[in-house]
Amino acid sequence: MKRTTWLIMVTSFLIVTLVPTAVAKPLNDVSGHWAERYIINLADTSVMGGYPDGSFRPEANVTREEFIKCLIVALKIPVCGAVEPSYDDVDNTSWSFPYIETAVASGILKPEESVNGMLKPGEPIPRVEVARLIVRALKLSVKSGYTGYDDGINIPPSYRGYVGIVKERSLMSGYPDGTFRPWNPVTRAEASVILVRLIYESGKGTGFVTICYDHSSESIFNNAFPLHQSYGYPGVNYILPSNVGNRGMMTIAQLKEMEQAGWETGSHSKNHLHFKDLRDREISQQLSQPKEWLQKNGLQYASFAYPFGFDTDPYPVVSEYYESAVKCFGNKINVPPINRFNLERIMLDSGLSNDELTDLLDQAVIKGGWVIFYTHSVAEAGQTPANHGINQQRLNYLFQEIKKRGLKVVTVSEGVSLKCF
Ligand SMILES: [Zn+2]
């Protein structure tokens, strides 16, 4: 397979899939700012946008009600309907009333902690309160009262556990001198960083990854399979029947052994031809013959990888021949309900940098999305990979990064049954 253009990838850490604000203008006051990357990623969303004049005002303070709204929107918490006001100074005519009551209903805000029933919604929110709100919003458990900061003594004991946990999870950072400065107001730039980290933290463990191997190379059995086994990650083999059993290619017995270990076998077409150059009848042969061959040899035919991307939309013959798994694999066989922003398919070879690779995984975390990697062969550690291939070190790096993020590794069929977008 070749890489299709729509996959050309995301270079930024974060694109949040929330409704964009009405202000689409580029921001005019964040270029070169230390938090630029976070601000730009967040400003395209309804979590925290720019102002109608094109500014973002990164050094302005965030008020209590503004931060609470951002938190509710960032975590996509459904906003409550009408209720009795929980605070004396936020009634139901206030713009922030629904967000504040949603925060109360979700246990993020506790009216009993207020002084004289007041929230003071328009005042700048101090760092220590932000820490408490985000810990509650993420439902993280507070273990101890140790903050880890040099000025921990200045932090009221009831807040210390929250400050400790946001440090431990890298949700908020302290100052270079080792202090937390609990009562400092939070600027919009600082809030952007905190919200990006919060969105990331809330998505951990929800996305998943699939690793596919095309063309039946024996190196998959020899070099990739053992590494998959050591991590407990299944893989997917897409085979060209005419290759199986040839020199340097996998055998039927090897494919079966991998299936026993949870791998999936699928078809990579009969002759690896450009489907767009073929007639419907020829395509149907490309699809049906390997499927029959796989069945006859006692292998799965769980899904199908077309050899080259389609440049035009739905190809009826392809979707006619293959079932749900196929329909969701690769967005070009565009049978709803595929959401292409939640599914990325990309070649894992030397053309994909480590930064791009980790960005893809981060995207899967943030969106709860699905990344499908594919490659042709896996060389031994220390060896130069073949064209469109990788070596064991690269595969191990990928697995480490997947593990770090708590992403699930699934076969194509499992991915489809988990989430058909
Ligand atoms: Zn191919």
**Ligand 1 centroid vs 404 CA: distance in angstroms?**
30
d(CA 414, CA 405): 19
pLDDT of residue 204: 77
- Please report, for residues 8, 232, 291, 402, 403, the alpha-carbon distance to residue 207 in angstroms, rounded to integers and kept in the order given: 20, 17, 30, 10, 12
**Ligand 1 centroid vs 322 CA: distance in angstroms?**
18
pLDDT of residue 224: 98
Q: Tokens 């990344």 appear where?
A: 371
Phi-psi region of 373 (alpha: psi -120 to 50; beta: other; left: phi over 0): beta
Q: For the domain bounded by 208-418, which CATH number is listed? A: 3.20.20.370
**Ligand 1 centroid vs 213 CA: distance in angstroms?**
9
**Ligand 1 centroid vs 349 CA: distance in angstroms?**
13
Cβ 377 vs Cβ 385: under 8 Å: yes
**Ligand 1 centroid vs 319 CA: distance in angstroms?**
19
pLDDT of residue 76: 86
pLDDT of residue 80: 85
**Ligand 1 centroid vs 367 CA: distance in angstroms?**
28
Residues of the chain where predicted confidence (pLDDT) is lower than 50: 1-23, 311-314, 323-341, 420-421
- What is the per-residue pLDDT across 211-226, written as a single tens digit (0 to 9) for each? 999 889 999 999 999 9
pLDDT of residue 322: 54
- The first and second tokens of residue 385, run together, are 């990979």
Q: In which element (H, E) is residue 199 found?
A: helix 188-203
Q: Where are the domains of the chain?
A: 5-203, 208-418
- What is the per-residue pLDDT across 38-84, written as a single tens digit (0 to 9) for each? 888 777 667 888 888 989 999 999 999 999 999 999 898 999 877 89
**Ligand 1 centroid vs 307 CA: distance in angstroms?**
5
- Look up the pTM and report it: 0.69
